Amino acid sequence: MSANNPEIAKGASVVIVGGGVTGLSAAFWLAQAGVDVIVIEKGIVGWEASGRNGGGCSHHHSPLFAEEQRLWPLMDELLGYPTEFRPDRIRIALNEKQLTLYSRAVANARGQGFQVDELDPQQVRELVPLAGDNVYAGHYYRFGGHANPHRTVQAYAWAVQNRGGRVLQHTVVTGFRQEGSKVVAVETDHGTFGCDHLVLAAGPQTARLSAMLGVDIPTRVARAEMIVTEPLPLMPIGGIDGNGLYGRQTLRGNLAYGGGPHEWLDAEELPGGQRPSSPLMQSIAKRVAELLPKSAHAKVIRSWAGLIENTPDGRPIIDRAPTLDNCTVATLSGVGFGLSPASGRAIQQLVMDGECSFADISGFRLSRFRDLEPDWDALQGWLPLTLAS
C-alpha cells in the first residue's frame, strides 16, 4: 500500500466508505479475518437508514437468506455486544386478501426448509395479547425475527474497534485518487487515506461516489417513514406484524411500525440535510390500531423518516466494480438491515477472495442491468417531484 507517502500515511489495507450496517458488517468480518480496515463515516455510525429501520430479519426471497438465518442467533456472541435480536415472528392477516399475499411468503420459506405454522384467529389472540376480534388468520414463522438497529450498528462498530479496525466518524469522503485502474487513496475533509482495496457502502450516496470513479450504479433515492408508541406490556413474541405493516414490539415494549407510500427524491448533493417525516404517520397509526386493537389507546411519541437508495429491480448490488482492479460496491437497495450479517460477510469474501463461498450472489452483479432502458426511472415512475419554492 501507499504507506511510504507521508501525505497518505494514515490509510489501511481496506477503506470502507459508509458507517451503516453494510459497511460496518463488512468491516467486522474483514477485521475478524485479520485485515487492517478503516470505516469512514460522514456523521455518526448508523445515522441514516441503518438507524431508522424496522429491524426485521426474515428475507426469504434473498440468496443470503440461509446465512442471514444462521448468523443472527450468533451475532450477540460474535460481536460481544447486545443487538436485541429475538427470533420468530407472527404475521397477522386481517382479511382474505392479506392472507393470500402472506401465504406466498410462507411458500417461499417452506420451500427452503423453514417451518411456518398456520394459526387460527383464536391462536393468534392467545399468542398476541394486543390482537383483537378482527383477526382473519396468522402465520407463525419459526425463523426470522428482529433486532434493535441502534444497538446493532454500535455493536458492529465496537466489534470492529476491538479487532483493531478503525471507525472514523464525522469524516466526509470527497473524492478518490486513481492510478490507472487502481484506486490508491480516498480523499476526505480530514485528509487522505491510502488503500489497497476500496469498499463503497454509502447508501444513497453510493452512486454519486462510484460515478467519481467512472462506475455507473443505477439507483434512485426514496423516503420511508415509521412511528413508535410509548411502551406497552411485553407480548411473548415481539415480532408481530401484518395488515400491510412491518415492525415489531421492542424489548422495551414500544410498538415501532412502518409501511405505506414512499416518496422519490433527488440524491443529496451534500448529504446531511433534514429528514422530516410527513403526516403519513396518521395512516401508519391507523393500521397499527387495526392490527393491535388493544393498543389503540397507546400514545405515538415519535415518528421519523429515512432515506434509502433503490436499484431498478429493487435487489442488491454486491459486486466488484468491473472497470477497476480493487473496488467493491455494495447497495442493499432498501432492504439491508436484516441481511447485514450475511451481506458483510459476502463483501469480505469478495474483497479477499473475489467470490462468495456460502451463497450464489450472481443475481447481485451490476452487469444484470446491461440491457436496462436508459429512462428506466421515468418508466417506473421513480422521478422526484420538483420542489416548488
Partner 1 sequence: MMHDPRSVSGKTLDISGHCSLLVIGAGPAGLAAAIEAASQGVSVTLVDENPVPFETMSESVPLFYGQRMSGTVRNRNAMMEQMLESRPDLVTAFELGIDVRLGTACWGLFLNSENMRWMDRPVAGLADEENGSSLVTFDRAIVATGRRDMGLAFPGWDQPGVMGAAAAIALAGQYKALDGRRAVILGSTADAMIAALDLAASGVEIACLIEQADVPVGPADLLARLSAQGVEVKCNNCVQSVVPGRDGVEGVVIDGGHLDCDLVVIGVGAVPMIDLLAAAGCRVSYDNARGGFVPDLDEQLCSSFPQLQVVGDCAGIWAGKSMDPAIAETEGRFAARYAAQMLGSTVEPAENTFAAPSPPPEHAFDIGAYRKAWVQRSVLDAETEPHVCQCEEVSAREILEVRPPRYLEWQASDNKARTLPDLLGEAPPDPDQIKRLTRAGMGPCQGRRCREQIQALLALKSELPLSAIPLAGYRAPVRPMPLKTAAPAIEDAAIAAQWDSWFGMPRQWTPFWDVEDFYTVSSLDTEKPHVSE
Ligand X SMILES: Cc1cc2nc3c(=O)[nH]c(=O)nc-3n(C[C@H](O)[C@H](O)[C@H](O)COP(=O)(O)OP(=O)(O)OC[C@H]3O[C@@H](n4cnc5c(N)ncnc54)[C@H](O)[C@@H]3O)c2cc1C
Contact of 195 with 186, CB cutoff 8 Å: yes
- Residue number, 177 or 252, with CB nearest to partner 1: 252
- Residue number, 209 or 240, with CB nearest to ligand X: 209
Which grid cell sits at 388? 416548488
Number of chain positions touching ligand X (CB under 6 A): 41
Q: Whole-angstrom Cα distance, residue 213 to residue 155?
A: 31
User: What is the CB neighbour count within 10 angstroms for residue 100?
Assistant: 10
Interaction between residue 129 and partner 1 (CB under 8 A): no
Interaction between residue 52 and ligand X (CB under 6 A): yes
Nearest approach, Cβ of 10 to partner 1 (angstroms)?
A: 13
Q: Of these, 20, 23, 55, 56, which contacts partner 1 (CB under 8 A)?
A: 56
Per-residue binder mask for ligand X (CB under 6 A), 328-347, x = binder: ----x-xxxxxx--------
- Name which of residues 350 to 379 contact ligand X (CB under 6 A): none
Q: Whole-angstrom Cα distance, residue 351 to residue 269?
A: 28
Q: Which residues contact 209 (CB under 8 A, 6 or more apart)?
A: 17, 173, 176, 200, 202
Interaction between residue 275 and partner 1 (CB under 8 A): yes
Burial grade of 98 (CB within 10 A; 0-12, 13-18, 19 or more)? middle
- Residue number, 49 or 160, with CB nearest to ligand X: 49
β-pair type (166-168, 86-93): unpaired
- Residue number, 73 or 325, with CB nearest to partner 1: 73
Per-residue binder mask for ligand X (CB under 6 A), 146-185, x = binder: --------------------------xx------------
Contact of 153 with 21, CB cutoff 8 Å: yes
Burial grade of 363 (CB within 10 A; 0-12, 13-18, 19 or more)? middle
- Residue number, 49 or 298, with CB nearest to ligand X: 49
Instruction: Determine the interface stretch with partner 1 among 7-15, 208-216, 340-348, 375-383 (rule: CB under 8 A).
Output: 375-383
Interaction between residue 207 and ligand X (CB under 6 A): no
Interaction between residue 264 and partner 1 (CB under 8 A): yes
- Residue number, 3 or 372, with CB nearest to partner 1: 372
Contact of 197 with 13, CB cutoff 8 Å: yes
- Name which of residues 155 to 194 contact partner 1 (CB under 8 A): 158, 161-162, 167-170
Task: Print burial letters for 255-292: b (CB count within 10 Å at least 16), e (below 16).
Answer: bbbbbbebebbebeeebeeeeebeebbeebbebbbbbb
- Residue number, 132 or 186, with CB nearest to ligand X: 186
Query: What is the binding site for ligand X (CB under 6 A)?
Result: 17-23, 40-43, 47-50, 52-56, 172-173, 201-203, 205, 209, 224, 226, 246, 258, 271, 306, 308, 332, 334-339
